[in-house]
Amino acid sequence: MKQAILLSVNDNVATVLERVGEGEEIQVKGVSQVETIVAKDEIPSGHKVAVRDIRKRERIIKYDNKIGVATADISTGQHVHVQNVVSERTEINEGGERA
């Protein structure tokens, strides 16, 4: 089983720790009880996976920071990246906006 890390209860994405193939189970560990989800796409190592359904125009939250906005509905287990998110990152010196 593949692994992903979730660092805040507010996060709607987790970071996968190794490449995940479509249909593989991902064990999400972090701030809450361990949860298992199934990958709906291939996800490269270090990329994000949705840990719950995310609606179009909803903010993407990672590490308790707003990092983007969904450009389409995203299902639990889907790869979350440039194909379905527009960035909201701020300049490095300013830091992110808290969720």
- The residues spanned by each domain of the chain are 2-98
pLDDT bin (cut points 50, 70, 90) of residue 99 is low
Q: Is the pLDDT of residue 14 over 80?
A: yes
pTM reported for the whole predicted model: 0.87
Q: Kindly state the tokens that stand for 44.
A: 């490269």
Q: How confident is the model at residue 93 (pLDDT cuts 50, 70, 90)?
A: very low
Q: Are 79 and 43 in contact (CB under 8 A)?
A: yes
The pLDDT, as a whole number, for residue 33 is 78
Model pLDDT, residue 52: 96
CATH T-level topology, domain 2-98:
2.30.130
Q: Which residue has the higher pLDDT, 39 or 95?
A: 39
Q: HEC string of 13-49?
A: EEEECCCECCCCEEEEEECCCCEEEECCCCECCCCEE
